[in-house]
Structure 1
Amino acid sequence: MVPVRLGIDIACRAAHQASLADEQGRFVWAGRRFRTTPSDLARLWAMLPAGTEPVDVLVVMEPTRNAWVPLAAWFRRRGARVVLVPPERSADLRNYYAKHAKSDRLDSRLLARLPMLHPDGLHAEPGLGPGDALKRAAKLHSTLTHRRTQSLARLDAQLELLGPAWHAAIGADLGSRTVLKFLAAGYADPHVVRRLGRTRLARFCYRHSRGAWGEPMADAILAAAAETLELWAGGELDYPDLAEDIAIEARLALQLAEEIKDLDERTALLLNQADPQAILTSAPGVAHITAAAILGRLGDPNRFTSLAGVRAFTGLVPSLNASGLTGRHGGPTKRGDAVLRQALFMAAGQARRIDPTLAAKYHRLMVDAGKHHNSALCHIATTLLTRIIPCWRAGQPYILRDVDGTPVTKEQARAIIAERYTIPKELRAQRRTTTHGTGRRSKESRCAPSTGPSTNHATTNPAAAA
């Protein structure tokens, strides 16, 4: 039978539109509306030409939010092959067909003809995408962690209103459960702290810190409360309202911490099912949460035809602007999945401290090539992933080796790194700073007068001279 191409323009709430074309791009029918219901999908499937085999059906669609997932699963169960097209690519072709028009009918017709117009851009989607539990858990963990970080940042800013003594008393770790419990109880009000007294404060700190804090902590908090009352002696600051705002942020941070803890336990179970041999966690710098993010967001590593494709998918490879005999590399492309990039970047920061070969490359990039710390870590991240993928395909764990290929233990590896590949502190401080967009002067208004030295020659105001 002649292969057919089913282009579907997906709508999240309205009806989808589908068009069917043969391999020459001639339309069998176009603009048929349907919804994601079993009855509508069955009617659409029945409209295929008589005698069409399921393997001859190619379904082309854009990954519109999560509405494509149940459609792709339904067509795959029928035996069809499903491919996803990046919206940017189909948009370029759409502009070619109709520069000043857009319609669902045109979109479905274009998707049906896309296999003929751009066959190299079609890649089969065998998975469930956002429907995959591990991929969804990795994204949710990143989102919750980001929300908790934002909540702690707002908490830190609100405590600054009370004065610096509170940070000195509570400590720099606002994520501590004891600190959050204290603030969530509304004890950021200095009047409430003074009414509680030293004994009850010490008992509270001792109970919630499991004996780590006690009377010294209570004395520090009482001193901070006294300093705040003296600092705001005029009474302008509303202590109860500020304490309630701080308590809300603290309760949110505590709730997010509990959600992250429960999610970590569920993620560990999902990772054990996806990677029973613990191949990913055998890599240096990759723990359970990082491994779940890498495997969940990367998908099946076997779907990539080359390691270069894997590196490109991370978005950590440098961009290239080339024409003729000239070419220039820029910053990372940042294409692909942001959660995957973040997990690889964090893993690279630990892996260079454990693997001598990665430490040697990091040392060369920092000392000899003059790379910035972040740029060097991007190189280490792609190298680490390039080594993890062959381990996954071979079903073998990651083995630490010296630069000459000799297997080493973690203790031996750390000793080798400390002896050969330690970055001087002065050079590390220089490589960790950037000269673009971080200075105070760079953030000043362009219309503001210069704060630099004045000129040596006086200027005359013509209006005043007249």
Structure 2
Amino acid sequence: MFYLGIDIGKNNHVASLIDEKGKIAFKAFSFSNTTDGAESLISKLNKFTSSISDIEIGMEATGHYWLSIYSFLVEKGFVIHVVNPIQTDGWRKGLEIRKRKTDIIDSVLIAELIRYGDFLETSLADEKTMSLRNLSRFRNYLISSIGDLKRKTICVLDQVFPEYQSVFSNIFGQTSKEILLNFSTPDDFDHISSNQLNDVLSKITLKKFATNKINQLSAISKHSFGVSFCLDSFTLQLKLLIEQINFIENQVKDIETQINALLDEINSPITTIPGIGNVSAATILGEIGDISRFSNPSKLVAYAGIDASVSQSGEYQSTNNKMSKRGSPYLRKALFSAALVASNSDPVFKAFYQKKRSEGKHHLTAIGAVSRKLCYTIHAVLKNNCAYEVRLPKTD
């Protein structure tokens, strides 16, 4: 039996092979993160054994760089163990290998770790769950990008037409955005022709509402305190910013359509839990992966980073511990968002939230407690694959 350790890099990987007695067959074989590079590794292995059942492979889950070689080797039929870098760090310290981190040492170290079998394998999600994680994370990135663009739009609008925001409660609504695409400065509203007005209204659903807003903008534009220079450059910025916002918002809709389709295929009962819609469900399922990774709900709480960090020194132990925030930030954000809704809409979570508030807890602290309770519910629903049921506590 042979054990292959692969130290993952961005452009190149390094592999070392040992036998079942720990004797090194080869070490520090460098190959590129390409198809040709992966094929060269196979050729190297064939010199020692032609049977893939005689080789077990180990690699660290380093960023996203391991996915290509992992996918290649899985298709070839190899047995692959993906380990968390934290485990190899612990193994390295146990062997007293310090301040000598090299590709050679690490690849041999991983091979030894696999040979001894003293490791916990990273549980990889199935393809649909991984797709949910990819889509939900990318959606999060797009939403963040829209936020940046909106802040920039407000900054430009404050300079050219500061009174504009007094007319709309939401300047990024469909009507407002369409108006801004056509009229950006106070001067634009001074002399609007009927043809211009009709052209704009033809693209807006709420035509009467839009007409009233344009009339209001025309009235206040006469006394605007906006800048009167460089208007062409400001106008172009506003137009392009609004177009970018529209474009990315359409991308978000496309992602949500695919998320909904995947959730229909998975058919998880998680969406029966209060506060968890399709977007939150995609994030939670994608970040959790296989629920069997968590033997009890408290481990899921810790993975989300919503457990309390312990501050202790000697005989002193703090009673005012903060949230650890060690886990997945995407999962934590989704849980808090769901907890906010659940604490208002579900009788069980609402009562629990109010209980925490009555104990003098701050609103955010109470929501944190609800999110932890939500973890327990999620664990039970996914573990038993059953829908959520409202179960009010018994009263005497």
Where on the TM-score scale, by shorter chain, does this alignment land: which range?
0.7 to 0.9
CA distance in 2, matches of 1:324, 1:25: 43
CA distance in 1, matches of 2:131, 2:322: 32
1:223 match: 219
1:340 to 309, 317, 331: 331
CA distance in 1, matches of 2:216, 2:348: 48
Identity of aligned residues (%): 22
How many angstroms does 1:251 deviate by?
0.9
CA distance in 2, matches of 1:130, 1:266: 11
CA distance in 2, matches of 1:212, 1:44: 74
How many angstroms does 1:279 deviate by?
0.5
Which consecutive residues of structure 2, in runs of 5 or more, have no partner in the other structure? none
How many angstroms does 1:373 deviate by?
1.9
CA distance in 1, matches of 2:116, 2:313: 25
What secondary structure sits across from 1:400 in the alignment? coil
What secondary structure sits across from 1:29 in the alignment? strand
Letter in 2 for 1:43: S
Deviations 1:59-105 (A, max 9, x none): 33222332211322344452414122236963893795242x44221
2:24 match: 27
- Decide which structure has the larger Cα Rg and report it: 1
Letter in 1 for 2:97: Y
Q: Is the 8 A contact 1:356 1:402 kept in 2?
A: yes
Distance 1:128 1:212, change over 3 A: farther
1:184 match: 181
RMSD: 3.1
Question: What is the TM-score normalised by the length of structure 1?
Answer: 0.75
CA distance in 1, matches of 2:20, 2:184: 71
How many angstroms does 1:269 deviate by?
0.4
CA distance in 1, matches of 2:47, 2:111: 15
What secondary structure sits across from 1:124 in the alignment? coil
| 124-133 or 284-293, larger mean C-alpha shift | 124-133
What secondary structure sits across from 1:244 in the alignment? helix
CA distance in 2, matches of 1:131, 1:282: 18
Q: Is residue 2:230 matched to residue 1:238?
A: yes
2:46 match: 46
Deviations 1:346-375 (A, max 9, x none): 01100111222211221122220x322222
> How many residue pairs end up in the alignment?
390
Deviations 1:193-236 (A, max 9, x none): 223247744762474133352432111111232122xx25xx65
1:357 match: 348
Distance 1:379 1:236, change over 3 A: same
By relative contact order (CA 8 Å, sep 6+), the higher-ranking structure is 2
Distance 1:397 1:267, change over 3 A: same
What secondary structure sits across from 1:332 in the alignment? coil
Which consecutive residues of structure 1, in runs of 5 or more, have no partner in the other structure? 406-466
What secondary structure sits across from 1:127 in the alignment? coil
Q: Is the 8 A contact 1:25 1:113 kept in 2?
A: yes
Deviations 1:241-261 (A, max 9, x none): 212111111111111111111
2:84 match: 85
2:374 match: 384
What secondary structure sits across from 2:366 in the alignment? helix
CA distance in 1, matches of 2:297, 2:22: 34
How many angstroms does 1:115 deviate by?
5.1
Distance 1:378 1:21, change over 3 A: farther
Q: Is residue 2:108 matched to residue 1:109?
A: yes
| 292-301 or 372-381, larger mean C-alpha shift | 372-381
2:62 match: 64
1:318 match: 308
CA distance in 2, matches of 1:131, 1:403: 34
How many angstroms does 1:24 deviate by?
6.5
What secondary structure sits across from 2:367 in the alignment? helix
1:159 match: 157
Letter in 2 for 1:306: N
How many angstroms does 1:51 deviate by?
7.6
The correspondence of residues 63-462 of structure 1 with structure 2, limited to 5 A, is: 63-77=61-75, 78-86=77-85, 90=89, 93=92, 96-99=96-99, 101-114=100-113, 119-120=118-119, 122-127=120-125, 132-169=130-167, 171-185=168-182, 187-197=183-193, 200-201=196-197, 204-205=200-201, 207-211=203-207, 213-228=209-224, 231-232=225-226, 237-274=229-266, 276=267, 278-328=268-318, 330-368=321-359, 370-404=360-394
How many angstroms does 1:109 deviate by?
2.2
Distance 1:212 1:21, change over 3 A: farther
Letter in 2 for 1:161: Q
CA distance in 1, matches of 2:275, 2:66: 35
Q: Is the 8 A contact 1:189 1:240 kept in 2?
A: no
Distance 1:197 1:227, change over 3 A: farther
Deviations 1:270-296 (A, max 9, x none): 11112x2x4011110011111111111
How many angstroms does 1:26 deviate by?
4.8
How many angstroms does 1:125 deviate by?
3.2
1:452 match: none
Letter in 2 for 1:17: V
What secondary structure sits across from 1:175 in the alignment? coil
Letter in 1 for 2:334: A
CA distance in 2, matches of 1:6, 1:206: 66
What secondary structure sits across from 2:312 in the alignment? strand
Question: What is the TM-score normalised by the length of structure 2?
Answer: 0.87
How many angstroms does 1:385 deviate by?
2.2
Deviations 1:122-167 (A, max 9, x none): 3233336899321111111111111111111221222222354210
How many angstroms does 1:8 deviate by?
1.0
